[in-house]
Structure 1
């Protein structure tokens, strides 16, 4: 259904109202007139205060305003107000914040295991929801979200920024245009280095009850890319995984990096006091909730996997081989698509393909950065023809803001909601569900030793084509 949007209307993505029904395009059209979009943020950690906080305040001051900030930690939420330079009230009570401010949109950036609480409650209170990935951490919570959106007249959008990277979009374009024919199989491998990968085990993400394991928290990005690239839903998953590098595997451990007798010998030592922001946001507020940001990544309570491998069968009969390594010497990824007419190979940040002077820590900082000038550069995508020569396609590439995806996602959501997107990059609740269900199925497959069907987990039925 086509509608006329104002410049300040907010476009959500496609979502399924019920399993097996026709796909519908939903829109956040507030009819705001000249007033700004009112936003409330719950979860004032580093991601919430920066990407979904300060950047929006700095870039879109004429389009939106924050009317409330909420966190269970009163110290962090007060810091967030100062860091973001907003004048709104702060809360530790989510429902009270909504009742007193009537936001148009709630942005959820809490710990993954609590996403469903704020999404469901926000929908019940009449708000549209934008949630950080992953949508949630298990199938029961996922079903609660699906049910809540169906009952409400509001919508949920998931902040998948990787889709918006020009490099990833080029891969999508080649696949969409049939350059290799029908896609039959995919090899997709992601490498987290000993700086970034290790950081997950240092934080709350190292506990499966908080983050659902990296099958969900991290790999949801990768599975969403696959679902989008293949334009199909996953059908069945078989997986292996283990914890053999971090956690209790190390012969020594400490209380945390600041208070450890092994700082001179541990190669993973990280000095949080070098970051004023981390100290102000986390260290100074430990007294409120006990959360330690520089925890020991060898603590025995860690219960997630650090090596993962899965085979995913899609409804369109494509088969994917996927792996995630969390202690690689470098951080990067590679993917190869096999089709009836050819093959596509793509990769980013494989160091021996290109001389790179920056350290792994510096590369990660650049990827996460939200400002600065980009240096013009190109990265290759290789297109093979079964009966002919291969072709190298040079694709413009930006390192900052997750390959340029962050700013493009924000522009679509807050600046150009009515602009037609030929690549269907906006992600709704069904997209969020299908990405986490692969990871949830992988966990269950490891635990049971059997393949797990996606249809077993929620009432969503996999489709051959997403559209």
Structure 2
């Protein structure tokens, strides 16, 4: 039977990740009955892209209860700015509605606890859209761990690299304010922490971290001029900005595929929305988050994670090693926002038994965002979990909470220069 969905947060992610596929691939399973957002211009953008939504009613940010009463949705999809997630998740659970939330589930551990407590009293269920789990490489790594290839997981090394285009984009947008995003240790790294939690089958217990703002903000070494309030579209010193010119010529900005920038037009056009634009200067003093982290995490099953992430590098990708009592898994991935400055091999998985010879595992790669994970995630959401898959992969509120809790513990450890326990981060207020 077709389910009715209401969208809270008519963002670029909601348009590309959910609304488009719901109107095409999953039109027999899903019906969009309501759109809610703080900015009416977003409704115009959405309906100009998807004219078939012309008759779908629109609601302001404070009209959630009215929307539910009038449209009677079965599921609420939460895809607004990160700090708004908790509001609509809690409201949905109060109405006993299921919720599908974009990651992160919330921006603080305390809000995650509020969500878990509310879910325990509701008929509704929370699902968090952790699409990285669904990338074929990542799913195969999970299978290898479940098959016992590495034995009991003892340590994980994960180094994540984000290029100068993608990395800088976070500092042009609302993500650069911790109050809105929780910082990148939550907004971005929650993806990575969830993968490690899922791969190991263990829960994080304690975190110690170092971090810094090395590249962006007013003290960034490549800042061509200390001046707040600039935007790329009108900036007079952008020819002297290495981050801008890396992707541009003097006559035209070169745009590449990026999930995060611009629902319509280009980033140097006038803002497509009423009160928001995504081309703020990456050197603005408003920035209060870090762009570099080095992290240690202890898990309840004895595993130890060594993690790092850097948001200003020549290319994207990661290096992963999972060590256990019977062997080791390794994998490396390289890509870039449209260009890779060197030849890139197809990603594989190397398995090293503790005593024996190396095995290279090739995985069938799929098309689609996030390493081919997006289409399969959507199938599980709208068609139900694949009955042939012998392990759980869809994420719930507990998964969302532990990923956010780890991310908050990271930035708190950076600020307080001490280990932070996850149970304290997720404690009730």
TM-score (norm 1): 0.82
Paired residue for 2:369? 401
Q: 1:123 to 1:340 in 2, by over 3 A?
A: same
Partner of 2:34: 68
For the residue of structure 1 that corresponds to 2:120, the secondary structure is: helix
Kindly state the Cα deviation for residue 268 of structure 1 after the two structures are TM-superposed: 2.0
CA contact (8 A) 1:379 1:396 kept: no
**Counterpart in 2 of 1:386?**
354
Q: Secondary structure at the match of 1:294?
A: coil
**Equivalent residues, number:** 403
Bigger drift between 247-256 and 109-118 goes to 247-256
Q: Name the CA distance, whole Å, in 2 between partners of 1:189 and 1:182.
A: 21
Aligned partner of 2:265 in structure 1 is 279
Choose the corresponding residue for 1:179, options 143, 146, 149: 149
1:242 to partner: Cα distance: 0.6
Deviation of 1:273 after TM superposition, in Å, equals: 10
Cα distance in 2 between the residues matched to 1:40 and 1:309: 39
Instruction: Give how far 1:94 is off.
Output: 2.3
Q: Aligned in 2, Cα 1:277/1:441: closer, same or farther, shift over 3 Å?
A: closer
Residue 100 of structure 1 corresponds to: 70
Q: 2:213 aligns with which of 238, 243, 258?
A: 243
Partner of 2:310: 325
2:204 matched to which residue of 1?
Answer: 234
Deviation of 1:347 after TM superposition, in Å, equals: 1.5
Q: Which runs of 5+ in 2 are unaligned?
A: 256-260
1:51 equivalenced with 2:51 (yes/no): no
Farther off after superposition, 428-437 or 77-86: 77-86
Find the aligned partners of 2:87 and 2:192 in 1 and give their Cα distance: 25
Shift, 1:280, TM fit: 8.6
Give the CA deviation at 1:284.
Answer: 4.9
Q: Indicate conservation of the 8 Å contact 1:272/1:294, yes or no.
A: no
Root-mean-square deviation (CA), in Å? Answer: 2.2
| 1:342 pairs with 2:327 | yes
Counterpart of 1:151 (choices 117, 121, 129) is 121
Cα pair 1:346 1:381 within 8 Å, conserved: yes
Q: Secondary structure at the match of 1:170?
A: helix
Give the C-alpha shift of residue 416 in structure 1: 3.5
Shift of 1:277: 4.3
Name the structure 2 match of 1:445. Answer: 413
Match of 1:362 in 2: 338
- Assess if the C-alpha contact under 8 Å between 1:378 and 1:396 holds in 2: no
For 1:363 and 1:95, locate their aligned partners in 2 and report how far apart those are by CA, in whole Å: 46
- The partner residue of 2:48 within 78, 82, 101 is 82
Which segment is superposed worse, 322-331 or 339-348? 339-348
2:6 matched residue in structure 1? 40
Structure-2 residue corresponding to 1:260: 235
**CA deviations over 1:17-39 (Å, ceiling 9, x no partner):** xxxxxxxxxxxxxxxxx4x2100
2:192 alignment partner, SS class:
helix
Q: Give structure 1 regions of 4+ aligned residues with deviation exceeding 3 angstroms.
A: 270-277, 279-286
1:300 corresponding residue in structure 2:
285
Change over 3 Å in CA distance of 1:116–1:363 after alignment to 2: farther
Structure 1 residues 361 and 73: CA distance shift in structure 2, 3 A: same
SS at match of 2:243: coil
Gap change, CA 1:305 and 1:284, over 3 Å in 2 = closer
Tell me the CA shift for residue 276 of structure 1: 8.3
The offset of 1:383, in angstroms, is: 0.6
Contact 2:102 2:128 in 1 (8 A): yes
Q: Take 2:358 and 2:233, find their aligned partners in 1: how far apart are those partners? A: 53
CA shift at 1:386, angstroms? 2.0
Distance 2:48 2:74 in 1: 23
Equivalent residue number for residue 20 of structure 1: none
2 CA distance for matches of 1:114 and 1:245? 28
What is the Cα deviation at residue 179 of structure 1?
0.7
Q: How do 1:6-21 and structure 2 match up within 5 A? A: none
1:223 counterpart residue number: 193
Residue-by-residue CA offset, 1:197-229 (whole Å, 9 max, x unaligned):
111111100111100001000001000000000
| Cα-to-partner distance string for 1:36-67 (whole Å, 9 max, x where unaligned) | 21000011111011101112211111111100
